[in-house]
Amino acid sequence: MAPSQDRRSFLRLLTHGLGTLIAVVLGAPAVAYLLDPVGRKARQSQFRLVDGVRLDDDAAFARGPVQGVIRDFRVDGWTLHPSDVVGRVWVVKDPAAANGFRVFTTICPHLGCSVNLGPGGGTFACPCHNAEFALDGARLHPEHNPARRGLDELTWRRNDADPGRLEVQYLNFKAGEETKIVVG
């Protein structure tokens, strides 16, 4: 090989090296930046007071499930909402339950729509893909129910200062799974 060919291949190698160096110095932080939101933790869940429901309001429970709302501060990227709706729950009076009541999140375990009361108020029905649940949260019509599990029940307790009110540990669960998997 002629000496000038030697030099050319040497320069070619160096040029490739330089290009790679610049690409890595710029590319590595770029990838880290893009992946920033992956793995960011949601807020730790704790017991939060539920508005709009009184456990001693027998008249309301006689009509069926009662919907309650949970408000708390919510962080959305850079924005801080001092008091926003974190979520809603259905409270069902159920003598078969451990403390006389069951609390369900309104989020459908199928794909995350918001579950309503079904016609007549005797069931829960999701308006999106026709998932239906009994008032105790169980899946109805398993043969054509798109949801793979029943409504997600939440842990609750009575408020110390006012036992007529309840506190709920509000959680989100992964949609579409057969079991409850907490996602924050």
Q: What six digits make up the tokens of 161?
A: 């200062």
The one segment of 20-28, 94-102, 136-144, 174-182 that binds another protein by CB under 8 A: 20-28
Nearer to another protein, 32 or 98 (CB): 32
Distance between CA atoms of 42 and 45, rounded to whole angstroms?
Answer: 9
Task: For residue 168, give both structure tokens.
Answer: 């709920």
7 in contact with another protein (CB under 8 A): yes
> Can you say how many angstroms the Cα of residue 74 is from the centroid of all Cα atoms in its chain?
14
Q: Which is nearer to another protein, 38 or 59 (CB)?
A: 38
Binding to another protein in span 82-141, by CB under 8 A: 82-83
Our finding on whether 184 is near another protein (CB under 8 A) is no
Q: What is each CA distance from 121 to 22, 23, 124, in whole angstroms?
A: 64, 61, 7
The phi and psi torsions of 20 (rounded to 5 degrees) equal -65, -40
- The piece of 24-32, 58-66, 105-113, 153-161 that touches another protein (CB under 8 A) is 24-32
CB 145 within 8 A of CB 131: yes
- The torsion defined by the Cα of 137, 141, 144 and 146, in degrees rounded to 10, comes to 0
Distance CA 156, CA 163 (A): 12
Residue 24 engages another protein in binding (rule: CB under 8 A): no
CB of 37 to another protein, least distance (A): 8
Please pick, from the candidates 59, 62, 63, 79, the single residue that binds another protein as defined by CB under 8 A.
79
User: Rule CB under 8 A: which residues touch another protein?
Assistant: 2-4, 6-8, 10-12, 14-15, 18-19, 21-22, 25-26, 29-30, 32-36, 40-41, 75, 77-83
